[in-house]
Amino acid sequence: MENDSLFMRRALDLARLGSGYTRPNPLVGCVVTHEGRIIGEGWHRQYGGPHAEVNALASVDNQELLKHSRVYVTLEPCAHHGKTPPCADLLIAKGVPEVVICNDDPFPLVAGRGIDKLQAAGVRVETGLLAAEGRWLNRRFFTFHEKKRPYLVLKWAETADGFLAGRYYQQVQISGEQAGLLTHQWRAEEAAILVGTRTALHDNPRLNVRDWPGPQPLRVVIDKNLSLPPTHNVLDRSQPTRLYTYRERPNAENLAHVTLSEADDLLPQVLQDLRQQSVQSVLVEGGPTVLNALINAGLWDEIRIFKSPLKLGQGIAAPVVGLNNLREVQTVGPDKLYWYVNA
């Protein structure tokens, strides 16, 4: 139909409103139309709450119109009982005759079953509309289920001459205020934030969301030999934290100690444990050892670099990234944001 793309884009815009709140569920939006006009819409607002289809169908004033409607949804309706009943069953029960779907669901308990159920009930189903845009929207969800690991966003700030810290890891304010605000937005969008030992030790970060509305992420800290002082911010138990180490240490409230094997590579063990904890995405904020290890192993999905006009002359070198994967360059206050995607 002529307005199919328009209605699906509206559904994608609605889905984004749930960013940060639906994890580990995907972002989903839904639009209900009748004779080319929107009569209802909704989105998945938070994990455990009603799905997008439920909210959209409930928003239609005249429920009889659902029997003559066309429904646009950004992800295949679920066909299993989870936190809520199957959305495919609801669409069938309401007598919806046509459903247009952006993406098939890779989650094993859905994975085509929602579409099969709808079609078996006589619902006309179309799939793949704006599929690339839908996959980008839910790139964390797709990566988690298809690559069996969290979606990895690497982020750092570097000077004009390529340093991300002073000599001996001396902390230096490199990026501007606007970059800091954007970083807090990113923290709210990801399920976890990861740093290595030196970053936690020298920068003493809080790794929380302060300057942007949104949920607090899981803090992930690598401290192989338990060298961090108990007074450091990441150990203050103010929010859930997982500390990866080679040493045994009992867990405490909001602080889990995960003992790793020294015989195996460290980072794959960390990523596997996070996957088992249903952590779908990680914002990696340093330091250079962790960042370089992930880059060299090809274990990254996005890299976001703030490049400042500041020069240090000497210091700790930033990782080097080729230009092949550059997605875009933005101006953020006095800085330039270089955004790479590992396509």
Q: What six digits make up the tokens of 274?
A: 């996070």
- List the Cα angle 204/263/146 in 5-degree steps: 75
- List the Cα angle 190/293/212 in 5-degree steps: 20
Q: How far apart, in whole angstroms, are the C-alpha atoms of residue 16 and residue 25?
A: 13
Of 214, 213, 216, 194, nearest to 205 (Cα)? 194
Q: How far apart, in whole angstroms, are the C-alpha atoms of residue 162 and residue 307?
A: 8
Catalytic pick among 2, 35, 41, 53: 53
Residue 71: C-alpha distances to residues 54, 171, 236, 334 (Å) = 12, 53, 48, 45
Question: Is 146 designated active site?
Answer: no
Q: How far apart, in whole angstroms, are the C-alpha atoms of residue 160 and residue 28?
A: 40
Of 141, 83, 81, 149, nearest to 110 (Cα)? 81
Query: Which one-letter amino acid corresponds to residue 284?
Result: V
HSE-up of residue 58 (Cα within 13 Å, Cβ side): 10
Residues marked as catalytic: 53
